[in-house]
Amino acid sequence: VGEGGSSLVQQRPPSKDGDLPSITDQKAEVGTSTGVDGCDEGKEEIVDGYLVREYGWKVRRMVEERSEIKKVAQIQAQAFHVPAFFFDDFFFQFFQDEVLSGLYYRLRNSAPDRYACLVAEPVK
């Protein structure tokens, strides 16, 4: 997606609770830069466009380009679609369009500091 050659990936969740990182581990993952007087507290430290690089994944904000938005919506639709016995392809297409529409709506109508769609990519 884009010129950097990155790709969107869908992965199954870990099989047991022991595979999940704890909240305390995740707190250390997102770097914050604090100035001498504490004015910059809470701002994310972004390195090469990625917010986090841990556990074999790197996380960044989604680039608001049509092709990437469509890929993100497709992954979301595949992850949350419940197959139907009859007309599954037909219903899936409608569901995929609904997810895409919802993503466009949230991006367009939410303040950038209130909503962000994050993309996780494998570290190469």
pLDDT tens-digit series, residues 31-64: 433 334 444 445 556 768 899 999 999 999 999 9
For residue 17, is pLDDT > 50? no
Tell me how far apart the 2 most distant CA atoms of the chain are, in Å.
Answer: 63
Taking the C-alpha atoms of residue 4 and residue 23, their distance in angstroms, rounded to an integer, is 31
Distances (CA, A) of 76 to 1, 9, 56: 16, 11, 21
Mean pLDDT of 9-31: 42
Percent of the chain with pLDDT over 90: 41
Q: What pLDDT, on the 0 to 100 scale, is given for residue 30?
A: 42
Q: Residue length, the chain?
A: 124
At position 6, the amino acid (one-letter code) is: S
Mean pLDDT of 65-85: 91
Taking the C-alpha atoms of residue 53 and residue 64, their distance in angstroms, rounded to an integer, is 21
Q: Where are the domains of the chain?
A: 17-122
